[in-house]
Amino acid sequence: MIIDKKIEIDSISLSTTPIFLIKNGKKNFNGTGFFYSHLLSHDKRILYLATALHVLIGTPPFKNKSPIAEEIEFYFPFSSDKKIGKVKRVKYPLLGKNKKPLYITHPLNLEVDAALIPINTEDYSECFSGKNVSLNSISNNWPNPELKVRISTNVVAIGYPFGFHDVINSLPIWKTGNMASEPNIDFLGKPLFLVDISAFKGMSGSPVLAITHEMSELEDNRVIAGGTKKFLGLLTFMRTIKNGFDEIDLQLGYVWKSRIIYEIAQSINLDKYQNSILYKSKNR
């Protein structure tokens, strides 16, 4: 859709993508991903596709199984301030040479249901070169790492519940809630926190951000005018409990903390990774 005047779209809305598993040529929606930018060294910045591990492999990570599908498909949003709704579809294999996973998991904690896939720069540079558009991403240093987060702070999870979204404009759904556990404590001793939110299947892998619209309190207790956001982590699943024969949805989401995403990104040996995969994505 092309419009005559500049419109305001939150850059986070252009940082997410649905993820589809492709098995035997059939494509099935499986979850949400987002683009995560990481400064590996002073001159090397890597772009990743971030999501929950089970979105990529199709099974819970603790089962330690190979992916049930051969590849995934996701979208690069191809939008500017006057053009929205365009995407570039990209297919990525899940296994490389010697059946080695192309996704990267946490180097020390096998329980972490999160994974990153380094993006081949050719796949998106061709898309945006010479055009007045750019690929939006999230990082631990953006939007605002200094925003102070407390219990009950407003949060958002951005994704595709059951695949539902604005298919005309290629924009995700924002689900709102609150911080439900102490943000500075690792819930149950794991690098997690809880959010009180009505999220649904398909939102696994969604980025979770604290959000303010008016006055904002920073970590050093300064107060600034205007709204801001802070990347908090990655939504992995919603908590349910058994009550007799019934399964009750507590509307509590488990979120891996942003530091875990950073640790995964920091763990990559880029030269070793590039040497071990030698693949080219399939673009359409």
Residue 215 has pLDDT above 80, yes or no: no
The chain-wide mean pLDDT, for the chain, equals 87
Range 103-107, long-range pairs (CB < 8 A, 24+ positions): 103/53, 103/56, 104/264, 104/267, 104/268, 104/273, 105/53, 105/61, 105/264, 106/260, 106/263, 106/264, 106/267, 107/263, 107/264, 107/267
pLDDT exceeds cutoff 90 at 75: yes
Is the pTM above the cut of 0.85? yes
Torsion on CA atoms 92, 157, 106, 281, rounded to nearest 10:
10
Q: For residue 32, give the nearest of 75, 69, 78 by alpha carbon.
A: 75
Averaged pLDDT for residues 20-49: 90
> SS3 of 42, please?
coil
List pLDDT tens digits, range 236-248.
999 988 887 888 8
Range in 74-83, 88-97, 225-234 with the lowest mean pLDDT? 74-83
**Confidence band for 129, pLDDT divided at 50, 70 and 90:** low
Tell me the pLDDT tens digit for each residue of 134-177: 688 999 888 888 999 999 999 999 999 999 999 999 999 999 99
**Which residue segments constitute the domains of the chain, with CATH numbers given?**
11-283 (2.40.10.10)
